[in-house]
Structure 1
Amino acid sequence: MAISTFLIFRFLLASLGCLAAGLVVWALTAACRRHLPQVAVQRSTWLLGQMTIIATFLAILLPHSERLRLLPAIELPETMLASPAAPDHAATPAPAAAKADSGNAATDYRAWLTFGAQAWLSLYLLGLAYTTGRVLQAHRTLNGLAATGERLILAGRHLGLDIAATPPPPSLTVIEVDAPISPMLFGWFRPRLLLPRHLRSFDPEQQQMIVEHELTHLRRHDLQWMSAGIVLQTLLWFNPFMRLLRDNLAWAQELGCDRDVLRNRPPAQRKAYAAALVAQLRLQPHPATHPATHPANTALAFGGVSARTVAARISLIREPGATPRGPWARAATITGLAGVFATSLAFQPALADRAAPTAHTATPATFSCTEMVDAASGAQLVHDGLCDERVTPASTFNIAVSLMGYDSGILRDAHSPSLPFKPGYIDWNPDWRVTTDPTSWIRNSTVWYAQQVTADIGARRFQQYVNSFGYGNLDVSGDAGKDNGLAMSWIASSLKISAAEQTAFLRKVVNRQLPLSAHAYDMTARLTALGTLPNGWQLHGKTGTASPVLADGSDDPQHSYGWFVGWATKDGRTVVFSRLVLADKQAGSAAGPRTKDAFLRDLPAQLDAL
């Protein structure tokens, strides 16, 4: 399965996970509103609820989040992965009819599953565009409404402003409009206060408290809080719990401003304020009938009095002591929501590790990839299997080291320099315990010889070469805390590359698009030459073998990576290729040469068919 398809499945899984998290968060916050009002009236409760849902979504979407999960992975069918790693592992052939039926069923299943995941991604993007458009349209509606009004500049132009307990800041623009709206504050970056002309008919005391309510929103930075809630809701537009939490965030903010405005006021003033809320509700048209005159319904403004919230607000006005605040409430909220996030992530299954093996997988399962690309055009000719998964390049990195060595002058020709083996050098292979030159180094994949070349290049220039090559993840730091990047970074360590990235690198090599000398290209091509195939294609290539690394840092004794990468040329046409296999280890047989032999059996016919 291509990594793009795998990520689409992960996106679908993350969407389902955030829906589950939303259900739990909503149940928790709804219970708080019913039984712990001192928690529910905290505006942070509802914004943190939204953040918990989107954090769950991102944690599942990002790579390796499955390390925290407690449920088993979702196993994808073998037929959705690449073909088996090597032909010598193949079982006895099944009858042709049975194989056809199985193949058709697997293909149909994969097609439908892939189509479903892709359809959801397309639907999400369309929904995101639509939701974003609605937010922008609402913003334009508010701006249009403000444009029809009169800006109040001089003192004495409005009684509610003149007698407000706290004068409005100079940066606030106040606009009076002739529309049946409630006073409202809007503008994420440039706040503006809209005052309806009918507000002048209210008692002076009511005008003062209503204006003070809007100014309190400004002082409490409620616009910024609400803006964050709208952004989160827009990103997860498909999650109904995001809207419920955002609505309750607005509810908590309205109650908070009412509480601040009415603090220490006598009952008569509290009663007058409640009467003003009811009067304002009667003056406003139904939002479904008059959306243009009810911009508060867009959630981009504060001040809209709705039937859903007015009862709760009047209840608070009558019983102000029913919703005390305290630091324990905020701590309890954060702890509860953090628990929801951790639990929802831990119990969210992930796609099977064998669909995306990593260096920390305890028991990696087999997978394979074949990638072939036309060197001239870059057209992808074959892309079969998990070709975008980065793993150690092993000895295939010797192609890059050869280019560096000849370009820097450390390597001179096919047999120079010739270096003697010394005690202490890596000697895993008996063929390495001899004097070695560039030709035998490439043929035998002699690790210590490559290490001598990179040591002479030096860490700074080595990193510069890797960067200019665009080689994999560019990480040549080596094992953590061991400062061995020059010697070990490409051997089951920090440097990783995918099969697709291998072909991209080799295409630059054969097209001579890297900042290297012609001598470096010529000698590397000479060292990697493997002869001519029966159908006339001239072959160049390099094998690589390495063990996956387990979570405890040890080599996996049961599995091995096998690489064979290179290019083939005939009649002016060049095809670069990369074959990667993660297979079971076999005694006395390295994975790299096995991968090469299996690949070459089919390569001539495959090249002729391209």
Structure 2
Amino acid sequence: MSPAELLMSRFLLASGGCLAAGLAVWAVTTLCRRRLPDFAAQRSLWLLSQITIVAAFLVILLPHSERLRIIPQIDLESATQSGVASANTTATKAPATGTPASSGAPASETSWLASGAQAWLLIYLLGLGYAIGKLVHARRMLNGLAAAGSRMDARHPHDGFAGSAQAARTPDVIEVDAPISPMLFGLIKPRLLLPRHLRSLAPVQQQLIVAHELTHLRRHDLQWMSAGVLLQTLLWFNPFMRLLRVNLSWAQELGCDRDVLRGRPQLQRKAYAAALVAQLRLQHHTVATALAFGGVSERSVAARIALIREPASAPRRPWARCAALASLAGIVLGSLAFQPALAWRIDAAPHAAQKASPASASTSSVVLSCTAMIDAASGQRLVHEGQCDERVTPASTFNIAVSLMGYDSGFLRDEHAPVLAFKEGYADWNDSWRASTDPTSWMRNSTVWYAQQVSAHLGAAQFQRYINDFDYGNREVLGEAGDDNALPLSWISSTLAISPVEQLAFLRKVVNRELGLAPAAYDMTARITRLDKLHNGWEIHGKTGTSAPVSVAGPDDAQHEYGWFVGWASKGGRTVIFARLVLDPRQEGHAAGTRTKKAFLRDLPARLDALN
């Protein structure tokens, strides 16, 4: 699956996730409205509810963390066996011109999920265009009404601005001969449209209506409404976004009613309610991008009148408001924890294809796989197969970076110095680690405690500086949360993560000596990473890595292992950089990194010969 197809699949998954989040948010807000009398009037909670759904959408869409995921991966299988056979053939025969190798089935044979994701993206873009078109049309209609009206000034007095309203800060006021509700619009340059039929109401009613619109301006309700409309437009397919936006408008109207009528006598309250009813009868329709007096619906106007006559007296409950906010935050965190990762799995080919490719017998159980190769001199992509942009722990491949740091800082001196003695308390997961170790045996055995001694010598500041200068993966050298173990554990199934593509970029800088290090750092690292020559004369430098994915609770996934093998191959003045990553079921007694290395080296001579 190509990066574009993976992104589209994530978009489809995120769309479904935000629908689920919308349902959860609506359930929370419904419960809050029943238990909290004043919840409906809290515009901040309605806008935060919309933001919660958008956050859930983005959390699923953006790259995820292996540590936070607690449900299994979704394996995206190839639609046809012929597509897999094609991919296997390409894997062994790269074109002589260096054209990137195909890594999946042809476009006509993409998986059902990839096809569905493409269709959904097209539908989304069409719907987004339609929603934006409606907003543009509404804006043009408002501008047309304003252009057809007459601007009011001191020469054209209006009863609505008599008395205390005259002292209020007013926008441009335009009187129009149309059956509309008084409405305020314009995010940058607000304008107030007043229908001429408003003059037929009693002066006190006109003053209360104008005060209502000016209160919207004072409370910055245009900005709040614009944010709600924007979020609803972006997620136009989610019906809960519209429901929440309508409730946001409802909360804004209630807030203005409360502010306008605060301290007023019952007679004026009744006049205000009568003005709402009269306006509802006269208006033709409202515009979604404007704040309109009384222009919500008959049902909402009836509810407003009931609150005007008998305003709610229940005090606000801070603990209940905090509970509502905590529930919304929990929905976002739930989206973060429960999102599945998308993994591309290449099924085993038919029996004939298995004979053609020795490694194909093991591919049926692979849940994540990438093989990538580039030319060191030009950076040209030679092979790009599988999911190569997925960031995971570098595991022991990070020892290449540690070696460069150690030799550049002077702590490491040559292939066999310094020799460090094993001490009680050091990591001793393997028998070979319980012995004195030099740089060569450290690199060969992936001795964790030796790398930890190098990092401890550097110190946190210099260690992070090297990581930044190397532009290594996500550069996050944090260690486990709550523990001071960034130096010894950051690259071991923890915060530091890197993708195969980023491994290639880093190793290319190593081969071309572009990291600004001492020459000895490159020379010595090349010596301790040197492996045997292939039978066709290519000299191999490389490093394996083995690690398990991590669940949200922290313990290793006992069922799967990452297997890395990264490095470079040189012959006759040409260098090819490679990275191989596999996530497959754990096999007792056989490290995933070692398995990955053996399988890759079996096919590597044919791949390299095909480049000539």
TM-score by length of 1: 0.76
**Does the aligned pair in 1 maintain the 2:568–2:576 contact within 8 Å?**
yes
**Does the aligned pair in 2 maintain the 1:3–1:386 contact within 8 Å?**
yes
What is the CA distance between 1:468 and its match in structure 2? 0.8
- Residues 430-450 of structure 1: per-residue CA shift (max 9 Å, x gap): 555555443343333343443
SS in 2 for 1:411: coil
Opposite residue 54 of structure 1, the aligned amino acid is: V
**1:331–1:484: structure 2 CA closer, same or farther, 3 Å change rule?**
closer
Opposite residue 301 of structure 1, the aligned amino acid is: A
What is the CA distance between 1:116 and its match in structure 2? 1.4
Opposite residue 459 of structure 1, the aligned amino acid is: A
**1:443–1:311: structure 2 CA closer, same or farther, 3 Å change rule?**
closer
What is the CA distance between 1:546 and its match in structure 2? 3.4
Corresponding residue of 2:605: 604
Choose from 293, 313, 324 the match for 2:301: 313
SS in 2 for 1:491: coil
**Does the aligned pair in 2 maintain the 1:12–1:117 contact within 8 Å?**
yes
Corresponding residue of 1:173: 171
**Does the aligned pair in 2 maintain the 1:149–1:175 contact within 8 Å?**
no
Corresponding residue of 2:99: none
Corresponding residue of 2:194: 195
Corresponding residue of 1:533: 534
Matched, 1:115 2:115: yes
Opposite residue 500 of structure 1, the aligned amino acid is: V
**Does the aligned pair in 2 maintain the 1:75–1:351 contact within 8 Å?**
no
SS in 2 for 1:581: strand
**1:568–1:212: structure 2 CA closer, same or farther, 3 Å change rule?**
same
The CA distance in 2 between the partners of 1:302 and 1:503, in whole Å, is: 55
The CA distance in 2 between the partners of 1:158 and 1:34, in whole Å, is: 42
The CA distance in 1 between the partners of 2:105 and 2:344, in whole Å, is: 23
The CA distance in 2 between the partners of 1:493 and 1:505, in whole Å, is: 20
The CA distance in 1 between the partners of 2:128 and 2:259, in whole Å, is: 37
The CA distance in 2 between the partners of 1:478 and 1:27, in whole Å, is: 38
**1:503–1:325: structure 2 CA closer, same or farther, 3 Å change rule?**
farther
Q: Which runs of 5+ in 1 are unaligned?
A: 88-103, 288-295, 358-363
The CA distance in 1 between the partners of 2:452 and 2:336, in whole Å, is: 44
- Residues 101-149 of structure 1: per-residue CA shift (max 9 Å, x gap): xxx9999885231121133234434544553454356446545655666
Corresponding residue of 1:355: 343
**1:405–1:55: structure 2 CA closer, same or farther, 3 Å change rule?**
closer
Equivalent positions of 1:20-99 (< 5 A) are 20-23=20-23, 40=40, 43=43, 46-47=46-47, 49-61=49-61, 63=64, 75-76=74-75, 79=78
**1:241–1:546: structure 2 CA closer, same or farther, 3 Å change rule?**
closer
Equivalent positions of 1:62-461 (< 5 A) are 63=64, 75-76=74-75, 79=78, 110-132=110-132, 134-135=134-135, 138-139=138-139, 142=142, 146=146, 152=152, 154=154, 157-163=157-163, 165-170=164-169, 172-180=170-178, 181-197=180-196, 199-200=198-199, 202-254=201-253, 256-258=255-257, 261=260, 280=279, 286=284, 296-297=286-287, 299-303=288-292, 306=295, 309-310=297-298, 312-313=300-301, 316-317=304-305, 320-321=308-309, 324=312, 326-327=314-315, 355=343, 367-415=368-416, 417-424=417-424, 425-432=426-433, 436-461=437-462
**Does the aligned pair in 2 maintain the 1:60–1:66 contact within 8 Å?**
no
What is the CA distance between 1:233 and its match in structure 2? 0.9
**Does the aligned pair in 2 maintain the 1:459–1:486 contact within 8 Å?**
yes
The CA distance in 1 between the partners of 2:506 and 2:336, in whole Å, is: 37
SS in 2 for 1:355: strand
Matched, 1:593 2:594: yes
What is the CA distance between 1:465 and its match in structure 2? 0.8
Corresponding residue of 2:501: 500
**1:110–1:144: structure 2 CA closer, same or farther, 3 Å change rule?**
same
**Does the aligned pair in 2 maintain the 1:52–1:338 contact within 8 Å?**
no
- Residues 77-98 of structure 1: per-residue CA shift (max 9 Å, x gap): 5558999xxx9xxxxxxxxxxx
Corresponding residue of 2:468: 467
**Does the aligned pair in 1 maintain the 2:76–2:344 contact within 8 Å?**
no
SS in 2 for 1:230: helix
Opposite residue 14 of structure 2, the aligned amino acid is: A
Opposite residue 176 of structure 1, the aligned amino acid is: I
**1:19–1:272: structure 2 CA closer, same or farther, 3 Å change rule?**
same
**1:508–1:138: structure 2 CA closer, same or farther, 3 Å change rule?**
farther
**1:185–1:547: structure 2 CA closer, same or farther, 3 Å change rule?**
closer
Corresponding residue of 2:516: 515
- Residues 285-309 of structure 1: per-residue CA shift (max 9 Å, x gap): x55xxxxxxxx51x22222555x62
**1:18–1:402: structure 2 CA closer, same or farther, 3 Å change rule?**
closer
Opposite residue 574 of structure 1, the aligned amino acid is: T
What is the CA distance between 1:466 and its match in structure 2? 0.8
Opposite residue 184 of structure 2, the aligned amino acid is: L
Corresponding residue of 2:544: 543
**Does the aligned pair in 2 maintain the 1:45–1:330 contact within 8 Å?**
no
**1:345–1:276: structure 2 CA closer, same or farther, 3 Å change rule?**
same
**Does the aligned pair in 2 maintain the 1:38–1:329 contact within 8 Å?**
no
What is the CA distance between 1:566 and its match in structure 2? 0.7
Corresponding residue of 2:359: none
**Does the aligned pair in 1 maintain the 2:73–2:343 contact within 8 Å?**
no
The CA distance in 1 between the partners of 2:197 and 2:551, in whole Å, is: 73
RMSD across aligned positions (CA): 4.5
**Does the aligned pair in 2 maintain the 1:374–1:575 contact within 8 Å?**
yes
The CA distance in 2 between the partners of 1:313 and 1:559, in whole Å, is: 60
The CA distance in 2 between the partners of 1:546 and 1:111, in whole Å, is: 29
**1:184–1:77: structure 2 CA closer, same or farther, 3 Å change rule?**
closer
The CA distance in 1 between the partners of 2:34 and 2:459, in whole Å, is: 67
**1:17–1:401: structure 2 CA closer, same or farther, 3 Å change rule?**
closer
What is the CA distance between 1:600 and its match in structure 2? 0.6
Corresponding residue of 1:93: none
What is the CA distance between 1:601 and its match in structure 2? 0.5
What is the CA distance between 1:239 and its match in structure 2? 1.6
**1:277–1:560: structure 2 CA closer, same or farther, 3 Å change rule?**
closer
Opposite residue 309 of structure 1, the aligned amino acid is: S
The CA distance in 1 between the partners of 2:548 and 2:251, in whole Å, is: 57
The CA distance in 1 between the partners of 2:237 and 2:499, in whole Å, is: 34
What is the CA distance between 1:275 and its match in structure 2? 6.1
Say which is worse superposed, 518-527 or 399-408, in terms of deviation.
Answer: 518-527
- Count of residues paired in the alignment: 569
The CA distance in 1 between the partners of 2:588 and 2:277, in whole Å, is: 85
**1:515–1:126: structure 2 CA closer, same or farther, 3 Å change rule?**
farther
SS in 2 for 1:512: coil
TM-score by length of 2: 0.76
The CA distance in 1 between the partners of 2:256 and 2:483, in whole Å, is: 58
- Residues 139-196 of structure 1: per-residue CA shift (max 9 Å, x gap): 4654565566665555983332123x444533x3232244424332223355432334
Opposite residue 120 of structure 1, the aligned amino acid is: W
Say which is worse superposed, 124-133 or 396-405, in terms of deviation.
Answer: 124-133
What is the CA distance between 1:263 and its match in structure 2? 6.5
- Residues 518-542 of structure 1: per-residue CA shift (max 9 Å, x gap): 3333332333232432334332211
SS in 1 for 2:111: helix
The CA distance in 1 between the partners of 2:336 and 2:592, in whole Å, is: 35
The CA distance in 2 between the partners of 1:471 and 1:459, in whole Å, is: 16
What is the CA distance between 1:563 and its match in structure 2? 1.7
Opposite residue 292 of structure 2, the aligned amino acid is: G
What is the CA distance between 1:341 and its match in structure 2? 8.1
SS in 2 for 1:76: strand
Opposite residue 544 of structure 1, the aligned amino acid is: G
The CA distance in 2 between the partners of 1:485 and 1:343, in whole Å, is: 30
Say which is worse superposed, 503-512 or 60-69, in terms of deviation.
Answer: 60-69
Say which is worse superposed, 549-558 or 573-582, in terms of deviation.
Answer: 549-558
Q: Which runs of 5+ in 2 are unaligned?
A: 89-103, 346-364
- Residues 335-368 of structure 1: per-residue CA shift (max 9 Å, x gap): 57976885898699966568399xxxxxx98543
What is the CA distance between 1:576 and its match in structure 2? 1.4
- Residues 421-464 of structure 1: per-residue CA shift (max 9 Å, x gap): 24335455455555544334333334344334333333222211
